């Protein structure tokens, strides 16, 4: 069976966008669905002006945090290196193939300035006309080209495209796509600084690294015919194409860091778990065969099928991610959970309270880590609150009923020697029965008195245990004073 080889080829130009991470995930899944599949990381840094210091480390850190372990790459090596394009430039790889295409008549040397071409394009667009650049330099004699090159005049190398005929390719998601060659502009392959364009470098590197399956965004659909013409010119086999629909902010706008939309790093900083983010973005544009939504990375690799990737954009729903993150938090082993939330508890609670006990009451109620601080802000200092908080139709309480409940509860809590969960629970349930009321009529006022809030991560009994007898009685006394 042929070894499946996929690649993730990001540019180190900033944080990891959600769309980029999904591309990495899908490329990983395509590879790992096959027993011998290889997932390769390649850093595409040909656009030197857009590089951001530290961005490569962000790529490494993100893949590691998500468990997307690459089999080959700049940091782990491999038989097809170097895996950084700027290092491959130094080897002369791209210029060698560009000149080979020139010799074959499939590319040509161009002396035109990009600024002039861009100006022509803008004029055409202003008139509502399509602009397909046809380079006049192709009409220069060989002697003239050699003379101008020898004189040091800057030049680029452009692809030659015969405007006659059509070019077709098959995509696993979008099917067969056919374009009229007359609509394809002759793209730059090698820039005047000796660096290849992304469009050229990815063709050369994908072939030399024996990439079998190319996973990328559907914005590259329009460029793929030009890539295929290069493959054909060089006599190379074409990879299998898997173009993915965009991740959308809404029905009309793509998710974009440029527009202030969250990156992977932003989401982690807000308290989302990497494994939950990864699970969620897997479902943005891909539909599993089973009626389920929670998958581990290994389960995704087994379930993934490129034929079930959709063609329309998938809208990023932060509320759905929040829900999924909550599922992951609640299913987490408690010791790992307690370790995860402890820094957030420490930030919110400075008093001498049991952090593991607080972690217990948080576990069933927290969806994202950033919620914790606000949830716990009443532990160190009881906030001021209005007695109307005691009015609750569901619990059948009002300030007067709450006052009676708190008087009875205080008397019981003060009387017990063993101040533990079971003793408090049994006693308060018995007390409610003696009072002839439902448990909530007694418990809800206690919870409000202890927290000053209508909603808390723990109930009356849990909060009372954590706060301790003395502080519980003190807060009930404050409540009774308010209610008087």
- Judge whether 100 and 112 are in contact, CB under 8 Å: no
The total of other beta-carbon atoms located within 10 Å of residue 24's CB is 28
Distance, C-alpha 477 to centroid of its chain: 49
In 3D, which of 89, 81, 134 has the Cα closest to residue 112? 134
Report the distance separating Cα 175 and Cα 171, nearest Å: 5
In 3D, which of 333, 340, 346 has the Cα closest to residue 271? 340
**List of residues 6+ apart from 239 with CB closer than 8 A:** 206, 211, 212, 213, 214
Output b/e per residue, 261-292; b: 16+ Cβ within 10 A.
bbbbbbbbeebbbbbbbbbbbbbbbbebeeee
In 3D, which of 33, 123, 2 has the Cα closest to residue 303? 33
Per the annotation, the verdict on 257 as an active-site residue is yes
Task: Map residue 167 onto helix, strand or coil.
Answer: strand
Choosing from 38, 106, 257, 482, which is the catalytic residue? 257
Output b/e per residue, 450-467; b: 16+ Cβ within 10 A.
bbbbeebbbbbbbbbbbb
Report the distance separating Cα 275 and Cα 177, nearest Å: 35
In 3D, which of 90, 87, 63, 64 has the Cα closest to residue 74? 87
In 3D, which of 239, 158, 235, 237 has the Cα closest to residue 200? 158
Q: Which residues share a beta bridge with 214?
A: 241
Nearest-Å Rg of the Cα atoms of the chain is 32
The total of other beta-carbon atoms located within 10 Å of residue 117's CB is 16
CB-neighbour burial class of residue 408 (10 A; exposed 0-12, middle 13-18, buried 19+): middle
Report the distance separating Cα 313 and Cα 300, nearest Å: 20
Question: How far is CA 95 from each of CA 9, 86, 121, 196, rounded to the nearest angstrom?
Answer: 20, 12, 27, 8
Q: Phi first, then psi: what are they for 36, rounded to 5°?
A: -105, 15
Q: Which residues share a beta bridge with 108?
A: 158
Instruction: Indicate which residues carry an active-site annotation.
Output: 257
């Amino acid at each position: 069976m042929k070894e499946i080889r996929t690649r993730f080829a990001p540019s180190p130009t900033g944080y990891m966008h959600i769309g980029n991470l999904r591309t990495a995930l899908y490329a990983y899944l395509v590879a790992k669905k096959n027993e011998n599949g290889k997932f390769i990381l390649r850093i595409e840094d040909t656009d030197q002006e857009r590089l951001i210091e530290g961005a490569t480390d962000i790529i490494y850190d993100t893949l590691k945090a998500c468990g997307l372990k690459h089999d080959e790459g700049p940091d782990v090596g491999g038989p097809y290196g170097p895996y950084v394009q700027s290092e491959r430039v130094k080897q002369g790889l791209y210029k060698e193939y560009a000149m080979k295409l020139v010799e074959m008549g499939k590319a040509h040397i161009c002396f035109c300035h990009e600024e002039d071409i861009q100006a022509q394009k803008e004029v055409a667009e202003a008139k509502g006309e399509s602009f397909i650049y046809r380079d006049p330099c192709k009409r220069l004699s060989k002697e003239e080209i050699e003379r101008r090159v020898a004189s040091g005049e800057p030049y680029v190398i452009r692809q030659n495209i015969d405007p006659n005929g059509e070019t077709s390719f098959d995509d696993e998601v979008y099917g067969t796509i056919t374009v009229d060659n007359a609509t394809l502009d002759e793209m730059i392959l090698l820039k005047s600084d000796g660096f290849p364009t992304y469009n050229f470098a990815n063709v050369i590197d994908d072939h030399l690294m024996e990439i079998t399956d190319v996973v990328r965004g559907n914005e590259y659909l329009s460029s793929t015919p030009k890539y295929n013409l290069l493959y054909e010119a060089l006599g190379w086999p074409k990879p299998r194409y898997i173009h993915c629909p965009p991740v959308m902010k809404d029905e009309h706008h793509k998710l974009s860091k440029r527009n202030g939309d969250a990156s992977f790093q932003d989401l982690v900083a807000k308290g989302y778990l990497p494994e939950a983010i990864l699970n969620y973005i897997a479902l943005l544009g891909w539909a599993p065969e089973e009626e389920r939504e929670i998958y581990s990375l290994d389960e995704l690799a087994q379930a993934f099928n490129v034929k079930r990737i959709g063609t329309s954009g998938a809208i990023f729903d932060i509320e759905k991610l929040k829900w999924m993150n909550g599922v992951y938090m609640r299913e987490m082993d408690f010791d790992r959970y307690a370790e995860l939330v402890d820094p957030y508890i420490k930030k919110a609670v400075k008093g001498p309270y049991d952090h593991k006990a607080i972690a217990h009451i948080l576990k069933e109620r927290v969806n994202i880590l950033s919620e914790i601080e606000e949830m716990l802000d009443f532990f160190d200092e009881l906030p001021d609150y209005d007695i109307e908080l005691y009015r609750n139709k569901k619990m059948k309480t009002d300030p007067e009923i709450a006052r009676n409940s708190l008087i009875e509860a205080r008397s019981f809590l003060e009387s017990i020697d063993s101040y533990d969960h079971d003793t408090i629970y049994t006693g308060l349930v018995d007390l409610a029965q003696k009072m002839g009321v439902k448990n909530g009529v007694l418990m809800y006022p206690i919870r409000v008195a202890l927290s000053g809030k209508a909603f808390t991560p723990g109930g009356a009994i849990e909060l009372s245990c954590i706060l301790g007898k003395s502080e519980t009685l003190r807060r009930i006394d404050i409540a009774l004073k308010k209610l008087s």
